[in-house]
Amino acid sequence: MQVPSVLALSLDEAKQRLEAAGIAYAVETLLPPRDNEADFSGKKVRKYVVRQQLQPDDILKITVVYRI
C-alpha cells in the first residue's frame, strides 16, 4: 500500500489527500497535559499533522496538534 506523506499539513488537507488515495485513517489529538479540547472552544484553531503511523490493521493513525 502506497501511503502519501501528510506530515506538516493541516488536518483538512491531510484528510482530503488520504480520502483521495483511499487510505483509512484515525485522528489522534495531542494536547499539553493541562489542556483539553474544550479549552480551545470558540477560538480559531489550526490543526496540523505531526506524526503518521501505519497500524497493523492498515489504518493510518495521524497525530494532530493545535495552534492558535
Report the pLDDT value the prediction gives residue 6, as an integer from 0 to 100: 98
Half-sphere exposure of 20 (CA within 13 A, CB side): 9
pTM: 0.89
Which set of grid coordinates corresponds to residue 24? 483509512
Residue 18: per-residue pLDDT? 98
pLDDT above 80: residue 1 = no
Give the model's pLDDT for residue 62.
Answer: 98
Q: What is the pLDDT of residues 12-60, one digit of tens each?
A: 999 999 999 999 999 999 998 898 888 888 999 999 999 999 999 999 9
- Count of residues for the chain? 68
Q: How far is CA 30 from CA 9, 22, 65, in A?
A: 15, 25, 5
Please give the pLDDT value at position 5.
98
